[in-house]
Structure 1
Amino acid sequence: MSKNPRVDLSSVVAFDADGALQETAAEAQRHSRRAFLRRGGIAAGGAVAAGAVLPGLTAGAMAATPKGDVAIANFALTLEYLESAFYAAALKHAGLSGEHKRFATTVHAHEAAHVEALKRMLGSAAVKRPTFDFGSAVQSQSAFTSTAITLEDTGVSAYQGQAPFIKSQAVFKAAISIHPVEARHAAWIRQLAHENPAPAAFNPSLTKSQVLAAVAGTGFIKS
């Protein structure tokens, strides 16, 4: 298990004047990032999005879906695996109580539903569930809260930044239907942490490289 006291992705997702990541951070995570790309089914230069699908979008419908959208859906599935596993682990190990427990229970159900919908849509093309180790991020309520804020904020910005790359109207509409739910998750956990749930009038988006670096940088995905 990781011995880090808490997960802090602020240095990864912070936006500089050019919107670029520090090259040293990218280099340090290159192997994990490559593995994450392979698992998410993203070709170099492909579009990335954290997305979900509506129940009506079946595996049959995906047969006529552009390959780029299939890659986006698989990347989304990997992210949903991550979030679903995080909340499941927190419910077991973080000693959550009261509203924090209600939040984790509700959001875990949402993320698990996203996983099942994506798997059903992708069929045999769906990537397998990775192995995760959340370390100290799920060993206390305070660590859970801090990590949940970061994961939800990152997911919201990823949807926002990558939705325009989706070609299929069905996949696009599905992703947009999930985006506000993720935003509500982010606002809810911020409120529980006594932070402003809507800190700015405009929300920044995340680029593909920022999402990849943020996720790889956590060290949560082990294989």
Structure 2
Amino acid sequence: METLKENQETSPRETDILDARLQRRAFLQYAGAGAAAMALVAAGCKKDRSPDMSFGVTLDFKDDLGVLNYAYALEQLEAAFYIKVASAPPAAFTQAQKNYFQDVQFHEIAHREFFKKKLSTASIGSLEVDFSSIDFTSATSVLAAAKTFEDLGVAAYNGAGVRLKEDANLVVAGQIVSVEARHAAWVRDQISNGSFADLSSLTALGANVAGGLDAALTPDKVLGAASKYIKTRINVINL
């Protein structure tokens, strides 16, 4: 797997995106509702291996804090993406699509800020994103990226829920994944009308068509798929 650079200083524009704070309307509505490449070191799968964690951040899945930091990482990614699109939507977007991205940025900021506050000093800190593969002037490219983020978000929460030990954390995860599923359905319908409930296209992400069950992936698979969008090195242990 390719060795990556240590976290670099973000530009003022990227800092603005990552540090954007929840606006009053979005906070009142959603705050209570309480994903170069990333190097993934799944050393926790085999205890006889010791990962190189000399730089980057570490997700330790030995307890709920590791799972919450995992969710925090994914919500940082989604929030940064939606803020960027909402600030300068593609010219081909309809008004409904512009409105959607305006609203969803507040959902994702609320999720991000919830985890940041809950984790407090135990949080992994801010990640550096890499959206160079997305053409933000193209409606097709933006919708495709949104689909990727939302499908991964749903699969991530569904796959990680079993690792949560505290009931309160499991309840919040359920509240958030249901919102992410709404996003995923809407975006899919924008790309292909009527496809919002199609589970057959999600089998690669762990969906069970016969059982009517949505996507579910283990953290290592989710992080591997999201790696192209995150520059910060992420080490994983006790997975």
Give the TM-score, by structure 1 length.
0.70
Higher helix share: 1
Distance 1:36 1:99 in 2: 41
Instruction: Using the TM superposition, give the Cα deviation of residue 35 of structure 1 relative to its aligned residue in structure 2, in angstroms.
Output: 8.1
Higher strand share: 2
Q: Considering only aligned residues, what root-mean-square deviation do their CA atoms show, in Å?
A: 2.4
Distance 1:191 1:74 in 2: 31
Distance 2:42 2:94 in 1: 33
Aligned to 1:221: 230
Q: Which gives a bigger RCO, structure 1 or 2 (Cα 8 Å, sep 6+)? A: 2
AA at the equivalent of 1:191: D
SS of structure 2 residue aligned to 1:42: strand
Contact 2:82 2:101 in 1 (8 A): yes
AA at the equivalent of 2:218: T
Aligned to 1:158: 156
Contact 1:136 1:143 in 2 (8 A): no
Aligned to 1:141: 139
AA at the equivalent of 1:33: A
State whether structure 2 residue 116 is matched by structure 1 residue 119.
yes
SS of structure 2 residue aligned to 1:75: helix
Match of 1:33 among 27, 35, 39: 39
State the structure with more CA Rg: 2
The aligned runs of 1:18-167 (5 Å cut-off) are 27=1, 32-34=38-40, 41-43=58-60, 46=61, 68-95=63-90, 96-137=93-134, 138-167=136-165
Contact 2:63 2:164 in 1 (8 A): yes
Aligned to 2:33: none
Gaps spanning 5+ residues in structure 2: where? 5-36, 44-52, 200-211, 233-239
Contact 1:83 1:111 in 2 (8 A): yes
Contact 1:40 1:75 in 2 (8 A): no
Give the TM-score, by structure 2 length.
0.65
Aligned to 1:198: 197
Distance 2:70 2:165 in 1: 15
User: Number of residue pairs matched?
Assistant: 173
Gaps spanning 5+ residues in structure 1: where? 1-26, 47-66
Distance 1:100 1:143 in 2: 14
Instruction: Using the TM superposition, give the Cα deviation of residue 92 of structure 1 relative to its aligned residue in structure 2, in angstroms.
Output: 2.8
